Structure 1
C-alpha cells in the first residue's frame, strides 16, 4: 500500500535571538561546504577566528529587529504556508529547514514513522544555487537514503520562469506599485562568482563569455545568474512595468571574494546620489520575508538610500501566504499526485 506526502524545504532560522542560539545557527549554516565552499581547514579557521567571535552578536541584534511574538518571520510564514497548502490538498504536507529547526533530519524521521512511501520534495527556492537549492536537496536525500532507502521521491525543479510562479510574483507585488515610483529594483541574494563557475558543467560558459546569460546554453539549468535575469525579464513582460524603470542587483555578501554584482548596497547609494527619489525593492529569490528582506532591505537599505539623497524606499513583501503562491504549490502537488496515480 502506498502513502504519499509532500515536503516543503526552506533555509531556516535561529531558535531565538539569543547570541548562543544565533551562534549555533551560523556555525551550522557556514560550516556547510556548499555555502562556504572553500577548503575545510580554511573554512574552520575563518569561522573560528573571524566570524563566530563577533558575527553572532551582530546578527542577534539584527534578528531582534525583525522577530515577532510568534518567533522568526521565516519560520512563522513557512508554517502558515504549510497550513494553507495542506488545506488545498488531500495528502500530508510536512515542513523542514536545512538549518535549525524543524530540521530536515527530524522531519524525514517523522515522515518515515508515518509510513510514507512516496514523497514530493519541494525546495522553496525559485532559482538553482549550490548554497540554497542544491544543499537543501542533498541534505534531504542523504536523510532519506539513510532512514528510508526504499522511499520513492520526486523533486520540484527550480521554477524561476514557470508562468504560474511569475503570475504569483506579479499578483503579490502589483498592489504595492505606485505611479510616481522612479525605479523598481530587483534585489537577489548574492552568491560568489566562483559558485556560478562551479555550477557550469562545461566550465567554459558562465562568466567566461560576455553574453553568457543571454546566449542559450545547457548550463543555464544550473546557472543562478541566468535564472535571476530570466525571472526579471518574465516579470517585466507579465507586469507591464517599463524596463527602463527597473534595475537588478545582488545583496548579502560575505567575506571579500568577488560576488555577483552589482551590489545592492552600492546601487542604493548610487541611485540616491544620482537623484533617484522613490524606489520600490522586491526580492524574488525569497518566497518568505526574512532577515535579508525585512532588515537588510527594509531597514538598512532605507537608511543607505535616504542618506545618499533619496526620499523614499519601500520593500515589496515576498509572496508569503499570497493565494496565488499557495495555489502554485498546491497545484504542483496535485499534478504530482495525478502522475503518481497514473503510474501505480
Structure 2
C-alpha cells in the first residue's frame, strides 16, 4: 500500500525565545546547513549564535505570526488538506525541523499499513540544506525504525512544465495589479562552497557567468543553476522584457562568500538608482515564512522606501493555491499509476 509524505522546512512551536532557540539549535546544528566539522559547528552554534540570535529571531517571528500559529505551518496544513482531496492515497505532512517531525509523519503512514512512501520535499530547487537533508534524514529514519517501508522521493521540480506554469500564473495575477518597473526573483542564499560540494563532476561548477549556462550533468544538483533556470523559464512564460527582471539571493550567515548578488544590496541599489515601483517574488519557497514575510515583506520594504523607493510589493508564494495543489496531486497520482 502506498502513501505520500510532504515535507517543508519547519518552524518554532511559538514565538517565545525558548522555542525559537530550540528550533534554531536543531536547524543550525544540521551539518548540511552549517557544513563545518562537528566541534567547530558546536562551538559556533552553541557558543555564539544561540546566545545572541534567538531573542532577535523571536522578535522577527512575532511580527509575522498568525493567530492560528506559524504561517508556514498553517499554509502547509491548508495545502495538505487540498492535496488529500485530490488523491485517494494517504498523504501526511512533516517538517525537517520542529513539529510534526519526519519520523512522526512516517509513523502515521506506517500505522495505516503503508509499505511504500513517496517523499516530496517542498523545495523546487535542490540544495544540500533543503532537499538533501530531508532525503538523508528520511532514509535514516526508515532504515532504523521502518525497514519494511520502501522510500522514494520526488526530484527537484524547478524546471517542471506544470510547476512553471502554475508559478507563472500566480505571479502574473499579481503583476497585472502591481505593474512594477522591475520584478526581482529572490532565492534563499547558500554558501558558495555548497555549490561546489554538490557538483557531482567535481570540476564543472566555478560560480562564474558561464558554468550555469553550459550544459552539464552537474546541473541536476546545482542550486545556483536551478534558480537561474527557474527565473529564465518564468520570464519566458510571462514574456518579460529584458532588464525588467533579475535574480538575487537572500539570508546569508557568517563571513564566507555566499551566492551573489545579495538581495538586500540589490534592493537598496534599485531604490538609489531611481526604481520607484518594485515587486519581489521568492520562488525558492512554496510557502510564505519568516524569510518572505519578515525579511522581504517588512525589512526589505523598509529599506527600499528609506533609500528612495515608493511602492514595494512581495508576491505571495504558491502556498495553498488551488492549481498548485492540483499539480502536486497530479504528480502523486502519476507516481501511483506508474508503480
C-alpha root-mean-square deviation of aligned residues, in Å?
A: 1.1
Q: Distance in 1 between matches of 2:266 and 2:234?
A: 21
Structure 1: where are the runs of 5+ without partners?
Answer: none
Residue aligning to 1:239: 238
- Helix, strand or coil at the partner of 2:211: coil
Q: Distance in 1 between matches of 2:328 and 2:319?
A: 12
Q: Distance in 1 between matches of 2:37 and 2:160?
A: 36
Residue aligning to 2:224: 225
Q: Is the 8 A contact 2:189 2:252 kept in 1?
A: yes
Q: 1:96 aligns with which of 94, 99, 102?
A: 94
1:84 aligns with 2:82: yes
1:261 aligns with 2:277: no
Residue aligning to 2:167: 169
Q: How does 1:14-33 map to 2 (within 5 A)?
A: 14-33=12-31
Structure 1 residue 298, shift from structure 2 partner: 0.5
- Helix, strand or coil at the partner of 2:159: coil
Q: Is the 8 A contact 1:167 1:324 kept in 2?
A: no
Q: How does 1:295-314 map to 2 (within 5 A)?
A: 295-314=294-313
- Helix, strand or coil at the partner of 2:93: strand
Q: Distance in 1 between matches of 2:207 and 2:152?
A: 33
- Helix, strand or coil at the partner of 1:52: helix
Structure 1 residue 325, shift from structure 2 partner: 0.6
1:134 aligns with 2:132: yes
Structure 1 residue 209, shift from structure 2 partner: 5.5
**1:136-191 Cα shifts (integer Å, max 9, x gaps):** 11111111111121212221110001010001101111111147411000000000
Q: Is the 8 A contact 1:213 1:226 kept in 2?
A: yes
Structure 1 residue 110, shift from structure 2 partner: 2.0
Q: Is the 8 A contact 1:171 1:324 kept in 2?
A: no
Q: Distance in 1 between matches of 2:276 and 2:236?
A: 24
Q: How does 1:4-83 map to 2 (within 5 A)?
A: 4-83=2-81
Q: Distance in 1 between matches of 2:287 and 2:318?
A: 6
1:88 and 1:180, CA in 2 relative to 1: closer, same or farther beyond 3 A?
closer
Q: How does 1:287-302 map to 2 (within 5 A)?
A: 287-302=286-301
Residue aligning to 2:154: 156
User: TM-score by structure 2 length?
Assistant: 0.98
Q: Distance in 1 between matches of 2:322 and 2:46?
A: 44
User: TM-score by structure 1 length?
Assistant: 0.96
Structure 1 residue 113, shift from structure 2 partner: 2.1
Q: Is the 8 A contact 2:6 2:121 kept in 1?
A: yes
Q: Distance in 2 between matches of 1:63 and 1:202?
A: 40
Structure 2: where are the runs of 5+ without partners?
Answer: none
- Helix, strand or coil at the partner of 2:10: strand
Q: Is the 8 A contact 1:188 1:251 kept in 2?
A: yes
Q: Distance in 2 between matches of 1:208 and 1:192?
A: 11
Q: Distance in 2 between matches of 1:90 and 1:82?
A: 13
Residue aligning to 1:183: 182
Q: Distance in 1 between matches of 2:283 and 2:186?
A: 7
